[in-house]
A and B are shown apart, each in its own frame.
Chain A
Amino acid sequence: MNNNVGSSEREPLISIRGMTKVYQNGAESIQILNGVELTVYPGEMIAIMGPSGQGKSTLLFILGLLHPPTAGSYVVLGQDVLTLDRSAQSKFRRQFAGFVFQSCNLFEHTTVYENLEYPLIYAGVERKRRPKMIHEALGKVNMGHRIHQPTNRLSGGEQQRVSIARALVNRPQVIFADEPTGQLDRNHGRLVMDHFHEFVSGGDTAMILVTHDPEIAARCTRTCELRDGLLISD
């Protein structure tokens, strides 16, 4: 069993060591992660698989600094990000990470353009620079023609593509995706994976996705399985 997943001579984007997560449920302690080790290099596309309830999404949220671990170290490009305060972690998320979730989570009562504008507003991108960046991100998922459509008029596949464009718009270094094709049919699923491949193809970026679908996992550069709180490489 290899508990330290990933090795290369290049500088890693992400490195986690001895990551544990324990939930308290009254007097009962539930250990979800039990010393997870993972190293992610630029250009990698890692699929995390495993049975439900094993902590795949929890691990993803910890990696995205959305959730604190109980113990362990988490280093991004040489910096220990767990020591950052709440505000610095927000700054890290807006500059480093993009998120795609299973249910698209597009904002209601807004257009496609406005959905993509929010991350840019939070990142402090000037108003005049935003249209170009938004057009560029939508172009990557072939949704440029729907830019001013209200999001509730899009199909499920289109909504997921907009969701991917929103994750890409800030040009993050890592995308964290939680079952991004879970609600899509096979064709749309493939299309979404094509977009992700394009994202990591430059070699500077990486992607970590949680999936139950072996076909999706097969298209990733690496597959890891989370079992009994440990991450096991394929």
Chain B
Amino acid sequence: MLWMSARQVMRQRRRYLGVLISIALGTAGLIVILSMGRTVKRNLNNDLTLIGGATIINVNYDERPGRANIAPYRLFSAASAAAVRSIPGVASVSVNITRDHAARAYLDTNIFEFHLIGVDTSFWETTGHGLVAGELLNTRHEKERQQVCVLGEKLAKKIFKNASPLGQHLRIESSMFQIVGIMSKSTSGEMANHAFVPITTLQDRFDGIPRTNQMLVRCVSWDDVEQVAAQIPGLIGEHQSVNLLRVLVPVGALVQVKRITFWVEMFIYLAIGATLFLGGYGIWSGMMAAVKARTREIGLKKAMGAQDGDILLQFMTEALCLSGSAALIGIVLGIVGVEFAGRSLGGRPPDAVIAKYALMSFAFSLLLGAVAGFFPSLRASRMEVVTAIRYE
């Protein structure tokens, strides 16, 4: 019966072509969206860093005036950073130190004031900042405590005008620093007027100066932010005091991002749902038309001894063959789509994830075929033999 129904669908493929395409595209879309969802969020997260860092948690000690006596300056230990890094949903962790007062640089007879930050090598990945020219501060710079610095793009222009700052030396406070890189400005422009030196160098050169120590924790996606934030105090508390520890979550940005992505996801799912609904409707109307066109065939089969169940089974099998074959085409298209999207977004989900969603989509398409094909099949099975045979 299955084989004969499959042949019927094959032979009447022109009638079912529209339905086939509709379900195949819906299935492919479903596989791509479900499989790439995590990667898309990760990439969107990277981009969103530039407009407010919705997924970056800022952890620091409240050392505002009047509090310092209660919580003296403390540096986050490597053990604390490692513990936070181990939380599921954390993408990267960076520890940095900011001078509370503006630093001064001297070039020729000019004096420039700016914020100076001592950063570790994870800083760039965590904040999502890139390079305009030169190189970023790396492990070697940090280990050897080199007197090198990276300037924010605006600051570099302010100090060096149109000349290239790379390789030049700049006196910051009483120490000379070689400029190794120019950092790209963020959309907010917040750090474009900052200068960055290795955290170890800052500790050496500017010890005893009031400063703020902070840990930046970047989450894989905004869905992870709240649960990561909740775990941070407990994990840090295993390695150092958490007295006056503050965990600052970008609530406003997070709510806004979640709202935007909710609607984006909603529209995508609605579009896929509409496509699949059209496919289901196509099966329903196609099968209704087929039942009408094949009324005499139904009557004749009943005259031969086919029972109501045989006719029901035949039309249901045809509907399932139709939706099943459309789903198989959709799976192939979906896998191709995931490959393309993966290349474009720079991250392909594991094969197991694709296989899981391909199976889910296949099952969903079969369900669609079963639901949409049931009523026409039931109608076919309940036809009176003589009425069907005499149908013109």
Cα A207 to Cα B7 in complex, Å, equals 34
CB-nearest residue of chain A to B306: A122
Question: Would you call A86 an interface residue if the criterion is a C-beta within 8 Å of the partner chain's C-beta atoms?
Answer: yes
Q: Across the interface, do A122 and B301 meet the contact criterion of CB distance under 8 Å?
A: yes
Contacts A108-B297, A109-B11 given; indicate if A122 touches B304 (C-beta within 8 A): yes
- Interface of A, helix, strand, loop or mixed by DSSP: helix
Report the bound CA distance from A86 to B308 in whole Å. Answer: 9
The verdict on B310 contacting chain A, using a C-beta distance below 8 Å, is yes
Range class of the A interface residue count: 20 to 34
Q: A109-B11, A121-B1 are in contact. Are A99 and B304 (CB under 8 A)?
A: yes
A74 close to chain B: CB less than 8 A = no
Q: Does A157 contact B (CB under 8 A)?
A: no
Alpha-carbon distance between A165 and B193 when the two chains are bound, in angstroms: 93
Residues of B204-239 whose CB lies within 8 A of A: none
Q: Is B248 positioned at the interface, with any CB of A under 8 Å from its CB?
A: no
The complex places the Cα of A91 from the Cα of B308 at a distance, in Å, of 12
Question: Is the CB–CB distance between B308 and A66 below 8 Å?
Answer: no
A109 and B305 contact, CB distance less than 8 A: no
B1-20 vs A, CB cutoff 8 Å, 1 = contact: the mask equals: 10010011001100000000
User: Is B386 touching A90 in the complex (CB atoms < 8 A)?
Assistant: no
Please tell me if A123 contacts chain B, counting CB pairs below 8 Å. yes
Inter-chain contacts of A87 with B (CB < 8 A): 307
Q: Closest Cβ of chain B: how far from A99's Cβ, in Å?
A: 5
What 0/1 pattern do residues 294 to 314 of B give for CB contact below 8 A with A? 101100111111111010000
Chain B contacts of A119 at CB under 8 A? 304-305
In whole angstroms, what is the CA distance A86 to B296 when docked? 19
Q: Write the A86-99 contact mask toward B (1 if CB under 8 angstroms, else 0).
A: 11001101110001
State A91–B304 Cα separation when bound (angstroms). Answer: 9
Answer whether residue B332 sits at the interface, using C-beta atoms and an 8 A cutoff. no
CB-CB under 8 A from A170, the residues of chain B are 304-305
Partner of B389, one of A66, A90, A108, A118: A66
A118 to B305 Cα, complex, angstroms? 10
What is the CB-to-nearest-CB distance from A82 to chain B, in angstroms, rounded to a whole number? 15
Residues of A within 8 A of B386 (CB): 61, 66-67
- Say yes or no: is A37 at the interface (Cβ < 8 Å to chain B): no
Contacts of A86 in B (CB 8 A): 307-308
Give the CA-CA distance A64 to B299 in the complex, in Å. Answer: 13
User: A93–B11 contact, CB under 8 A?
Assistant: no
State whether B389 touches A101 (Cβ < 8 A).
Answer: yes
Q: Are B12 and A93 in contact (CB under 8 A)?
A: no
Q: Which of A114-137 contact B (CB under 8 A)?
A: 114, 117-119, 121-123
Closest chain B residue to A150, Cβ basis:
B11
* Cα separation A95 to B303 with both chains bound (whole Å): 11
Which 8 residue pairs spanning A and B have beta carbons closest together? A94-B305, A109-B11, A93-B305, A66-B385, A119-B304, A90-B307, A122-B305, A122-B306
Known pairs A101-B389, A117-B4, A170-B304; list 7 more (Cβ under 8 Å). Answer: A61-B386, A66-B386, A86-B307, A93-B305, A94-B304, A119-B305, A121-B4
B binding-site residues for A, Cβ under 8 Å: 1, 4, 7-8, 11-12, 294, 296-297, 300-308, 310, 385-386, 389
Residues of A bordering B, CB below 8 Å: 61, 64, 66-67, 86-87, 90-91, 93-95, 99, 101, 105, 107-109, 114, 117-119, 121-123, 166, 170
Supply 28 A–B pairs (Cβ within 8 Å), ascending by A. Answer: A66-B302, A66-B303, A66-B385, A66-B386, A66-B389, A86-B307, A86-B308, A90-B306, A90-B307, A93-B304, A94-B305, A94-B306, A95-B305, A99-B300, A99-B304, A105-B297, A107-B297, A108-B297, A109-B12, A117-B4, A118-B306, A119-B304, A119-B305, A121-B4, A122-B301, A122-B304, A122-B307, A122-B310
